[in-house]
Amino acid sequence: MLDGDWLAETGAEIRGVLKVMVDAGWLPGGTAVVGTDSMWEFVSVGGIGETVGDHPAAPDVRYDVASLTKVMATWPLMGRVVAEGLVGLDAPLGSYFSGGPFPGGQVTARQILTHTSRLNPVTWLERYVGTEQDLAEAILAEPLDEEGYRYIDRGFILLGLLLERLLGDPLDRLAGELWSVAGMPSTTYGPLSRSPAVAPTERRIPGTAPTWGVVHDEAAALMGGVAGHAGVFTTAIDLGVFARDLLRVHDRSRGRRDAFSEYLRQSWRPQVPADEHFSRGLAWLVTDDGLVYHHGYTGVSLFLHPATGRYVGLLTNAVHHGRRRTGLFDLRAAVRASFAD
């Protein structure tokens, strides 16, 4: 199928599914970017939430991207420090932190990126509030879990703290410099002012205002809204820029042997079986037919297909109506199916 036809058909499919979800009251609305190397189009349906009037969803509305933070901030910054030789993917991380020895001291960046680190799978950080214990040391001091693949936020929290130590700046500043160079001016860590330009997320207590302009993830909120696993806000426009540029870098990396190109190639190759349907690369999920993607809990996704240079970025605040996020699985499945054409 020609790229132009694929864009039109995929955009129409996403628009149709979003409309069904909005009409059913499953989510306030959403926006998507559907693109290739030289073309893109945007789909927007519904609004940003009934609590803020009838302001429409749009490509320039910022959404809390939850775990897309892992691939939009932490993953590329880890590629930078790996390329600069500041840390090795297979080097034990305990040597980069004071104190110890810790049970988690032998955990490597590769294990964290592939979610095989054996760190505590429970993200809950409330137990450290009011203590004198450094968070990185607290994470490393926990007993290790059984071997195997488990999706673990604490590993990316630890990588965010590691990046700050290695590069000498707060994570939000480091990521902000990266996004500025990439031409993504609307991508940022919060907090953001409440406005129609920001989609609210969940109303946690009935009769109160929803979480709006501050991170939805509780652990990231305890960290001041800036963490390696969650906290980033972006727009469909910036998400399209990010996707397009990654695919271009991947295309140019063929035959090159520089450190970041190798990191990118490893990231988009299967590293660890995660399910009968997909594997985990470095941070990213990878299917047998070469689709690379990642989701975020709030109702967002990014899909990349290196073989064709096609991508879809999906932004919704599905969690606005509750954590069941009805219909979100079907919406994502429709996007995945579009890459089979």
Say what the pLDDT of residue 259 is. Answer: 86
Distance CA 164, CA 170 (A): 5
Say what the pLDDT of residue 69 is. Answer: 98
Distance CA 244, CA 227 (A): 25
**151, amino acid identity:** Y
Q: What are the angstrom distances between the C-alpha of 321 and each of 43, 131, 193, 207, 324?
A: 21, 35, 21, 13, 8
Say what the pLDDT of residue 255 is. Answer: 67
What tokens appear for 199 in the block?
Answer: 């989609």
CB 225 within 8 A of CB 189: yes
Q: What is the CA radius of gyration of the chain?
A: 19
Distance CA 296, CA 283 (A): 13
Using DSSP bridges, classify how beta strands 285-287 and 29-35 pair: parallel, antiparallel or unpaired: unpaired
Say what the pLDDT of residue 277 is. Answer: 85
Distance CA 341, CA 330 (A): 18
From-to residues of CATH 3.40.710.10 in the chain: 3-69+172-338
Say what the pLDDT of residue 186 is. Answer: 98
Distance CA 68, CA 80 (A): 18
Q: DSSP states of 84-97 as a string?
A: TTSS-TTSBGGGGS
Say what the pLDDT of residue 132 is. Answer: 87
Per residue of the chain (341 residues), what is the pLDDT tens digit? 899 999 999 999 999 999 999 999 999 999 999 999 999 999 999 999 866 567 999 999 999 999 999 999 999 999 999 999 999 999 999 989 877 789 999 999 999 999 999 999 988 899 999 888 899 999 999 999 999 999 999 999 999 999 999 999 999 999 999 999 999 999 999 999 999 999 999 999 888 889 999 999 999 999 999 999 999 999 999 999 999 999 999 987 776 677 888 999 999 999 999 988 899 999 999 999 999 999 999 999 999 999 999 999 999 999 999 899 999 999 999 999 999 86
35 bridge partner residues:
40, 311
What backbone torsions phi and psi does residue 42 show, to the nearest 5 degrees? Answer: -115, 145
CB 43 within 8 A of CB 9: no
Omega of the bond prior to 101 within 30 degrees of 0, cis?
yes
In the chain, the DSSP E strands lie at 29-35, 40-46, 63-64, 188-189, 232-234, 272-273, 278-280, 285-287, 292-296, 300-305, 310-316
Distance CA 288, CA 276 (A): 10
H/E stretch holding 332 reads helix 328-338
127 bridge partner residues:
none
* CATH class entry, domain 3-69+172-338: alpha beta
Of 327, 333, 339, the C-alpha closest to 18 is 327
Distance CA 304, CA 291 (A): 6
* Calculated CA dihedral for residues 334, 12, 301, 190, nearest 10 degrees: -150
- Helices 171-182 and 75-83 pack at an angle, to 10 degrees, of 90
Q: Is the dihedral of CA 245, 73, 214, 32 positive or negative?
A: positive
Say what the pLDDT of residue 187 is. Answer: 98
What tokens appear for 61 in the block?
Answer: 């509305």
Say what the pLDDT of residue 97 is. Answer: 87
